[in-house]
Amino acid sequence: MSKGGTSKRAAEDINKQQKKIKNIDEVLKLVKKLAEQGRKNTTAERSLAELDLAHSVREVVDKDADAVLDEIEATMLEVAQSILAGNGYSFDIPSRAKGNQLYVPELDRIVLKDTVSKRPFASSQACRKTAITTRILGLVHELCNKQINVTKRDLFYTDVKLFEDQRESDAVLDDLSCMLGCTRSSLHVVASEKGVVVGRLTFTEDGDHIDCRRMGVGGKAIPPNISKVSNIASDALFILLVEKDAAFMRLAEDRFYNDYPSIIITAKGQPDVATRLFLRKLKLSLKIPVLALVDSDPYGLKILSVYMKGSMNMSYDSSNLTTPDIKWLGVRPSDLDRFNIPAQCRLAMTDEDLKTGRKLLEEDFIKANPAWVAELELMLKKKEKAEIQALSSFGFQYLSQVYLPLKLQEGDWI
């Protein structure tokens, strides 16, 4: 078909889709029903003790500065006593290896099995990492004493020659959270601001009133210290979790949340801790559904799974970082044909994409959702992927004016 013929067909498709969209009340009918079901569901998440896992799984809790100081001082006292006894010293570090991760269907999230390994200073292989662990324990002790917060980047620059790479200091921070039994924020170390939010949401941040409808196209940066967020209020019917910054900005500029009462959040790619904590806090406070808009590729699904089930790196804190029951709204593999995404906007999956997709099919949390399995199998069968931006081939506002309204109207989420 000629280029002109293709354009004409696309225009006809868009016209048909636009005619299907009813008034806003009709579009939102199924979303309202989903929100009502969520509010009526008062079932509390089962505890590790109820599942007889309390003694075999390691989970952390928020601790105040004094409690963290006590843990650090008790640890270093043991170190000093061991050195004075002529035994050298080591730390008992919980293992966060892949084999130590456990998906618990009853909790619908990944947890960390309580297995520890020694990190001895006398070992040539572990000596440097033990030194880094000792150094960071000292820095965290100072932060808790002074009651101040720093970013992970700030922490790295306190001893660049020892740490060498920020990934080293970041990994040890997670080790210490696990070892001390506290959340990473309890260590007074936070990540730099990354995620943003816009829409029908107000809250108080460290005493300041924030109205997310007045934050412009860029949105409000999600605070790195979520404990300072309070007085959350909203008349939104749902939270729209968006993978990409470009899609977020399109929806923000179009004021999508005015016609379709919503809160729009993005972490601009890989989910950071603050965005994950913030999303969970909103979900628990407002009791409204979360709908996800991610790329139609294995990595979009991996990003969604981190929000829902947790990550291996931080499985020890999955009770605070996960938001179960997020609905996958789009862009799903079945949408590519359903919405006639043009061939030039579809990308062939690479060998690495296919490998990642097959690995996802083996994950227990994917197997637990037959609809997800069907979508992933379709993706692997067709060997095609597409980004959210592929929808812009029909017009820059197609996402906000046609695609999302149709998906909401039809309740097309899984």
* 74's tokens: 């008790």
Amino acid, single-letter form, for residue 56: S
Burial code of 75-103, b = ≥16 C-beta within 10 A, e = fewer?
A: beeebeeeeeeeeebbbebbbbeeebbbb
Q: Are strands 238-242 and 290-293 parallel, antiparallel or unpaired?
A: parallel
Burial code of 319-338, b = ≥16 C-beta within 10 A, e = fewer?
A: bbbbbeebbbbbbbbbbbee
Which one, of 186, 172, 181, 190, lies nearest residue 112 by Cα? 181
Burial code of 21-51, b = ≥16 C-beta within 10 A, e = fewer?
A: eeeeeebbeebeebbeebeeeeeeeeebeee
Write the Ramachandran bin of 206: left for phi over 0, alpha for psi from -120 to 50, otherwise beta: left
Which one, of 102, 174, 97, lies nearest residue 140 by Cα? 174
> Residue 322 and residue 207: Cα distance in Å, rounded?
27
Say if residue 243 carries a ligand binding annotation. Answer: yes
With tokens 């900005």, the residue in question is 249
Say if residue 52 carries a ligand binding annotation. Answer: no
CB within 8 Å of 329: residues ≥ 6 apart: 240, 291, 292, 293, 404, 407, 412, 413
Q: What SS3 class is residue 233? A: strand
* 264's tokens: 């729009």
With tokens 């579009």, the residue in question is 27
- Is 260 marked active-site? no
Tell me the DSSP string of 194-229: --EEEES-EEEETTEEEETTSS-TT-EEPPS-GGGE
Q: How far is CA 59 from CA 44, 70, 112, 271, 380, in A?
A: 18, 19, 7, 20, 35
Integer-rounded Cα Rg, in Å, for the chain is 24
DSSP state of 399: I
Instruction: Name the catalytic one among 89, 157, 316, 403.
Output: 157
Annotated binding-site positions for Mg(2+): 243, 295
What are the catalytic residues? 157
Annotated binding-site positions: 243, 295
